[in-house]
Amino acid sequence: MNSLKSNIIFNILTTVMNTLLQLIILVILSKYVGTSSVGLLTLGLAITAPILLFSRFNLRSAYSSDYKSEYSFNQYFTLRLVSTIIYIFISIILIQTFDLNSYEEIFIILIVFWKGFESISDIIYAHFQKINSMRIIFFINLWKVSLSIIGFIIFISIFQNEIYSFLFLTIIHGIFIILELKKVQILLEQKIKFEFNFKYLLILTVPLGIAHFLTSMNVNIPRYILQYLSNTEQLGVYGSLFYLITAGSYIIISINNAVLPEQAKKRYKWNFNEVYKIKKKLDIIIFIIMIPTILVSLFFGDIIIEIIFNKEIASYKLELIVVTLIGLIKYLNINIDNIFLTYQMYIVQLKLNIVYLVIVTILSIIFISHLNILGAILAVLVAEIIIYFSKYILIIKKRGE
């Protein structure tokens, strides 16, 4: 197996593992603690995700593509560390603006630290990725995810308390940062030290952070409005249903990242039609997977959801069917985004993200006030469809150039 294929496989496997970790946490909380805990987890992730993604500045991709090493690993690492500390500080302040009791605040603050530690690990993985050693990332995450799942289950079983379980999860991720730093120091053949002269690196990567912030806001706006107009239990149901397609999104993105270099090569060596052929093949795969999935959700959705989560969430069968339709459109949108990346149409993507944000915000306010959780789901479906056809028209125009 050549190194490219090997790295693609290890990248997808790592993504699947980390997706599985969050899914297992959702399942455990819904079955053994309750839907309200799933709602708190969903709220915690919704509060932290936009700030976290902005604070990352997509430094991992920037470092991996910095072939001339214009900036040192220490500069990237220092910037990520500083931005993560700021993210934690802002998140804790933001949590105080929500109507939460002390127990709920502690729960969400632990989520903030857990995701912050993940962010620090992410920039360490950038070096492994740069030297084409995705295998290292895979085995690190194999141990990390395995220990996290085992520990989470044990703590929930013994204490019946999600705070102790998330505290364990956070500590495990903190310990692994130390181990990962030792490994990267060996590969770099130097000690990691703080280099605060990252001003120009920050200027370079801030636009990437803004783009990721907008993408995250697009996902989380319906959650904020649902929490405000409804309750935590409804948010828990929404989060559980949507995580099923979110998990698929991570895998589709991994596949698209893997084929992106090939698409870029075809852009320069051949023409747009060759690039478009790759998109069509990926679209066919998505239809082959999603059409049966939609049919299964139509006939057996409530049974499957009850097995995975609980009876309360299983009663939302209609919502599940609509969510699977969203999954189909969302995955097709991801494939089109890869063409935008291939042709470096970054400004177009940014404008479309802003349009999506406006549409989903307006529709969420209107629909949720009348239909609660179904309204939030329909708002996302309509927004996804409008953006898909907008992107498709732009791609057709590009094809004609």
Buried b (16+ CB within 10 A) or exposed e, 318-346: ebbbbbbbbbbbbbbbbbbbbbbbbbebe
> In the chain, where are the structural domains located?
1-207, 230-401
Q: Taking the CB of residue 212, how many other CB atoms lie within 10 A of it? A: 20
Tokens representing 158 are 């013994």
Output the tens digit of pLDDT for each of the chain's 401 residues: 456 577 778 878 888 888 888 888 988 888 888 788 888 888 888 888 899 999 998 888 778 767 677 889 999 999 999 999 999 999 999 999 888 889 999 999 999 999 999 999 999 988 887 887 888 999 999 999 999 999 999 999 888 888 999 999 999 999 999 999 999 999 888 888 899 998 989 988 888 788 888 888 888 899 889 888 887 788 888 888 888 888 788 788 777 766 766 676 777 666 777 777 888 888 998 999 999 999 999 999 889 888 888 888 888 999 999 999 999 999 999 888 888 877 767 778 888 889 999 999 999 999 999 998 999 999 999 999 999 999 989 888 876 56
Q: What is the C-alpha separation between 86 and 213, in angstroms, rounded?
A: 15
DSSP string, 57-107: TTHHHHHHT-TT-SS-HHHHHHHHHHHHHHHHHHHHHHHTTS---HHHHHH
The structure tokens 């899914």 sit at 23
Query: pTM for this structure?
Result: 0.80
For residue 293, give the amino acid letter: T
Q: Quick check: helix, strand or coil at residue 131?
A: coil
